[in-house]
Chains A and B, each alone.
Chain A
């Protein structure tokens, strides 16, 4: 009964989202502002319905209701509770329901938010959001119904793919979806602005918290996914440039560009048309990502039973939203009043450069991801575009981008002074150069790019520290004299300033972590108990191999002791091969030993009849910095979100009153 009610709630959500879509248009035609209010209430109602539907599906999973097809295919009575819960979205139907749940959650947040968004803009935004909800709920109901029943109900389910039976499944998809779907709000705002034919700093300020929220979550989601793949797959790699990864990276890059161009729009009332286009592109890339991952054009653990009707439906959604919004853009964008051009040497100038590089980098990823698909479609030739392609396209574009990160912060709005900025950055550049050269000298004979990367990371870190110091010190006559004064002023800086510096420092930390992988080592051997394998500065000794039993699997575990080359014990590692009888599937569980920010990584291979086991051992120096850096970036974004400016409306540009520039240039 609960399941049927859930299904009904979903159908109700479809109807309500239709109301949410139509009301703002009706309000505009009839001129009755009361109708707009209905859009807000509809957004809340749609959320409540989808939430109920989601809860119903969760209930079916938790109680192992095997009369529901979705539960049969993805659950098992002996599956631990956490995987019964996370298994709700560990399949196509459930994950689409989570997608829609987050979509309506964002809609409800926009409806309930107490910030000073003009009512007309809010209503139009909700209308666009209603259209997205309508289409996706329709998709679920017609092609991917999670509530369909099986008669007769089997006694036991098929269990979840063992690769997904991991705490990562509980964290990674929701984070990623909040990111993906959060950009729908930026999109809805952009389309609403196009419909209205007007856009200004108020719009920029209204949309920025949503973009920032989505961006923070997407950052965390990608980082979590990367870490999950790193430890689950036993390959020791943290990024593989494969299409599903690229699908999440592209909206992230475009979202990063959007975040920066919105700042320019808010501060300088410029880049309007570009910002609107970026908002459309960012969500379009999220949709393309959903299509790539969900339609089955790419086979991966993310794709599902390849049902052609679903692929076609998602493709139709893609064409509707991307084609529709770009057509609207072409038609309405000329109506938007353009802001003035500005000096190339200024903060906005450097942000334009940032946008250029980000978009170019995003384009290379897009080409590398879609080219094999298009080529196969057109010629039937199958090719793989792998890491070498991205290393020689994305990386050369990313390096100049990273170099201008602190430069932008060192320049003032409107009219920057290259000389003064260069002076400020000189210290960062000099220290970074010294660090890079010192590392190169210390590791002479090793990889050359690694010290370069370390220098670059150091430059970014020092650059972001300088951001705060320079701003706290002040300029000209008000320049602070003492260290204490700088400290007090730094504490008084707006949170967004700290957030920016923190996020940029996070990028530096990621770069350090990536660069250090140049010194990663790996070893491979067949070991019998008592024998050892050496890699980097560590030696792993196989103590024993023993069977053990989990709730729904059997495991052969290898116990290793890790020592330094000098013989001092630093820790124990267990790696195993798990066998899941319900799926007749074996999965390798890698073993990790964290030493500071570095890790020793062991992965178990074939267990021979003679008691010898295959073992791969990696030494990953400072590898944790890659993910910690991403967390720092997201924290920076979060800190920025708590800034007062995010809650108050943008200053209106009254003719009589000059723009209050109380907030110092950021």
Chain B
């Protein structure tokens, strides 16, 4: 085998693996990305039912209803608009009315959001960032405002890597 053909094989191998990786990324990008929406976005934009998305806001006061078999209904609000959420499963430890929450799931034709994942904060002094930003956009939340419980977020940071945002869940 000549030097030239060896080099050619090497380049071809690199090229094809690279093309495969790029192809896979582009393919996955088109189908598996979930967008974040606030209740106002849903009210204004008219999102097609069946779209998978992340809904973030505050759990509306007095909206939490526990049904049989761990079925839970609650409403997520950004004070301008409200979306009803249905969820079956265990709620996170720090899920509270009036607190920030992010729910991932599908918007159903009736306007009800069917969540399969509910994330709350992992610390008393923490608000999911997406929710904080969305509320700031509505002018309803200020840094260090009453929604922030502790004077200084003493969120303990472990040096580990995997506990991560899942602890919000």
* Residues of chain A whose beta carbon lies under 8 Å from any beta carbon of chain B: 73-74, 87, 89-92, 95, 98-99, 158, 160-161, 163-164, 168-169, 172-174, 176-177, 221-222, 224-226, 228-229, 232-235, 237, 239-240, 242-245, 247-248, 289, 293-294, 298-306, 341-344, 352-353, 356-357, 360-361, 363-364, 367-368, 371, 381-386, 388-389, 392-393, 396-397, 524-526, 577, 583-588, 603, 605-606, 608, 614, 616
Contacts and interface: CB of A to CB of B under 8 A. Distances in A.
A586 B92 CA distance: 10
B140 interface: no
Interface stretch (B18-26, B78-86, B107-115): B18-26
A383 B33 contact: yes
A397 B20 contact: yes
A51 B99 CA distance: 43
A173 B69 contact: no
Contacts of A174: 159
A169 B21 contact: no
Contacts of A603: 90
A606 B17 contact: no
A344 B6 contact: yes
B143 to A, nearest CB: 10
B89 interface: yes
B6 A342 contact: yes
Contact of A383 (B7, B35, B169): B35
B160 A383 contact: no
B41 to A, nearest CB: 10
A300 B164 contact: yes
B44 interface: no
Nearest to B54: A384
Nearest to A387: B32
A172 B158 contact: yes
Contacts, number: 248
A577 B162 CA distance: 22
Contacts of A161: 122-123, 155-156
Given A90-B156, A95-B158, A242 B164 contact: yes
Contacts of A164: 156, 158, 163
B114 to A, nearest CB: 15
B32 A289 contact: no
Given A300-B168, A389-B29, A89 B159 contact: yes
Nearest to B7: A341
Interface in B1-35: 1, 3, 6-7, 9-10, 13-14, 17-18, 20-21, 24-25, 27-29, 31-35
B152 interface: yes
Interface string B70-99: 100000000000000000111101100000
Contacts of A177: 159
A597 B158 CA distance: 28
Contacts of B153: 305-306
Contacts of B18: 360
B90 A228 contact: no
A98 B160 CA distance: 12
B164 A341 contact: no
17 contacts: A99-B159, A172-B162, A224-B160, A228-B163, A302-B163, A352-B13, A356-B13, A382-B36, A382-B54, A383-B33, A384-B35, A384-B104, A524-B69, A524-B70, A605-B91, A614-B70, A616-B90
Contact of B166 (A233, A341, A356, A584): A233
Which of A222, A382, A584 counts the most chain B CB atoms within 10 A?
A382
A176 B90 contact: no
B155 A305 contact: yes
A577 B163 contact: no
A342 B93 CA distance: 58
Contacts of A233: 163, 166-167, 169
A228 B160 contact: yes
A98 B159 contact: yes
A587 B89 contact: no
B21 A393 contact: yes
Given A240-B164, A367-B25, 7 more contacts: A245-B162, A304-B155, A344-B13, A357-B17, A371-B29, A393-B24, A526-B69
B130 to A, nearest CB: 5
B97 to A, nearest CB: 13
B161 A393 contact: no
A360 B68 contact: no
A98 B1 CA distance: 53
A169 B88 CA distance: 32
Contacts of A234: 90
Contact of B165 (A224, A299, A360): A299
Interface string B37-56: 00000000000000000100
A305 B152 contact: yes
B66 interface: yes
Contacts of B17: 353, 356-357, 360, 397
Interface in B87-144: 88-91, 93-94, 104, 122-124, 126, 128-130, 133
A167 to B, nearest CB: 12
B42 to A, nearest CB: 14
B157 A301 contact: yes
Contacts of A341: 3, 6-7, 10
B28 A382 contact: no
Nearest to A157: B154
Contacts of A584: 124
A599 to B, nearest CB: 18
A242 B165 contact: yes
Contacts of B69: 524-526
Given A90-B157, A382-B130, A525 B70 contact: yes
A356 B90 contact: no
